[in-house]
Amino acid sequence: MSISVLGAGAFGTALAITLAQNGPVTLWARDADHAEEMQRTRENSRRLKGPRLPENISVTAEIALAARSETALLAVPMQRTGAFLAEHAGLLQSKTLVSCSKGIDLQTLQGPSALIRQFCPDAVPALLTGPSFAADIARGLPTALTLATPEDDEALQQALSTPSLRLYRTTDLTGAELGGALKNVYAIGAGVVIGAGLGDSARAALMTRSFAEMVRFAVAQGARPETLSGLSGFGDLVLTCTSPLSRNFRFGLALGAGEAFDPSVTVEGVATAKAVSILAEKRKIDMPVASMIAALTEARISVPEAVLTLLARPLKQE
């Protein structure tokens, strides 16, 4: 099975590095200078400093070349995915398109699989999601992810598993997608808790109530609850709410501490918090934590006000 990775950020590069253990990989970067530099230096110094690109990764800025593969992994930020698919739909029809992005598109309030269906109706949508930092994957550290496909696709699972990357299959695209999208929102909240000095007990409480919200929201959209208990829900929530390697967590740390944060860093949870709070209101789903995080990121509320509001909610059964 020939494989391309579209998007040469940290995650796309790391996936290309691990998949190169199975055979040749084409890595597409939108910027021609960046592609040329990576092809020559065998490193992505802009987004993933350090790991070396194996010789069987071919880096190109020619999308038509990358689109020759049967399977393409999409690793562009969520809020750019719609525009990317719209621009390149003609080349991507009839492929298996595996989205590796985590989030909900603010413009359409849809996740990546719906965007693939909208722009490339003849493609097979799939998702690769779960707990993994690009740096860990690129270093060959053990990682496990969820591969979601509409039909149970063992061949794709085989093709995308490597000696250090273990994939588990599911056909629950909704659950896999929403687990990955929502955990980024709650990771911002966990960062705020720690950044504001509210303590580890408060973080554990926030993570637990966040998980309850995540399941409630996803099940209301048709997801299977057990998917959310897996790698793409519980697994990724734990990783991202507890590790300073997470950009969403670090963004929250800065917000909680009242410090500035580098705007060039990809923080998917900000737009997704807004999208989730809009969807929750529309569909009458109780999402107090996500809505509070949206309010915090939009500076509609301060950290002390958010804490007071959450603590003042009526007492109820767990």
Ligand X SMILES: NC(=O)C1=CN([C@@H]2O[C@H](COP(=O)(O)OP(=O)(O)OC[C@H]3O[C@@H](n4cnc5c(N)ncnc54)[C@H](O)[C@@H]3O)[C@@H](O)[C@H]2O)C=CC1
Ligand Y SMILES: O=C(CO)COP(=O)(O)O
Active site members:
183
Q: Six-digit token pair at 262? A: 């580098």
Known binding residue 132? Answer is yes
Residue of the chain from 3, 12, 61, 113 that contacts ligand X (CB under 6 A): 12
Give yes or no for a contact between 8 and 29, defined as CB atoms under 8 angstroms apart. yes
Among ligand X, ligand Y, none, residue 246 binds (CB under 5-8 Å by kind): ligand Y
Residue 153 neighbours by CB under 8 Å, 6+ apart: 126, 147, 169
8 is in an annotated binding site: yes
The residue within the footprint of ligand Y, chosen from 236, 271, 280, 306 (CB under 6 A), is 236
Contact 5, 48 (CB under 8 A): no
**Is residue 186 within the footprint of ligand Y (CB under 6 A)?**
no
Q: Are 44 and 13 in contact (CB under 8 A)?
A: yes
Among 102, 117, 203, 274, binds ligand Y (CB under 6 A): 102
31 CB neighbour count, 10 Å cutoff? 12
Report what 161 binds from ligand Y, ligand X, none; CB cut-off 5-8 Å by kind.
Answer: none
Q: How many Cβ atoms from other residues are within 10 Å of residue 117's Cβ?
A: 18
Query: Which of 25, 38, 66, 100 touches ligand X by CB under 6 A?
Result: 100
Residue closer to ligand Y, measured from CB, 131 or 195: 131
> Does residue number 272 form part of the binding site for ligand Y (CB under 6 A)?
no
CB atoms under 10 Å from CB of 291, counted, come to: 22
> Which ranges constitute the DSSP H helices of 221-261?
225-228, 236-242, 247-257
Rounded Cα gap, residues 213 and 215, in angstroms: 5
For residue 157, give every residue at least 6 positions away whose Cβ sits within 8 Å of its Cβ, in sequence order, or none.
147, 167, 169
Written as six digits, the tokens of 251 are 């963004």
Give helix 269-283 / helix 173-195 axis angle, nearest 10°: 120
Q: Return the biggest CA–CA distance within the chain.
A: 61
Q: Determine whether the annotation assigns residue 161 to a binding site.
A: no
How would you classify the pairing of strands 96-99 and 124-129?
parallel
* Among 81, 99, 162, 246, interactor with ligand Y by CB under 6 A: 246
Q: Which one among 119, 133, 211, 217 touches ligand Y, defined by CB under 6 A?
A: 133
265 is in an annotated binding site: yes
Choose from ligand X, ligand Y, none: what does 248 bind? Cβ within 5-8 Å by kind. ligand Y
CA separation for the pair 269, 43 (Å, rounded): 28
Footprint (CB under 6 A) of ligand X, residues 248-277: 266, 268
User: Binding partner of residue 100 among ligand X, ligand Y, none, CB under 5 to 8 Å per kind?
Assistant: ligand X
* Binding-site entries for NAD(+): 7-12, 134, 247
* Binding-site entries: 7-12, 30, 102, 130, 132, 134, 183, 236, 246-248, 265, 268
Give me the residues that bind ligand Y (CB under 6 A), please.
102, 131-133, 184, 187, 236, 239-240, 246-248, 268
* Binding-site entries for sn-glycerol 3-phosphate: 102, 130, 132, 183, 236, 246-248
Give me the residues that bind ligand X (CB under 6 A), please.
7-12, 30, 47, 75-78, 80, 83-84, 100-103, 132-134, 266, 268
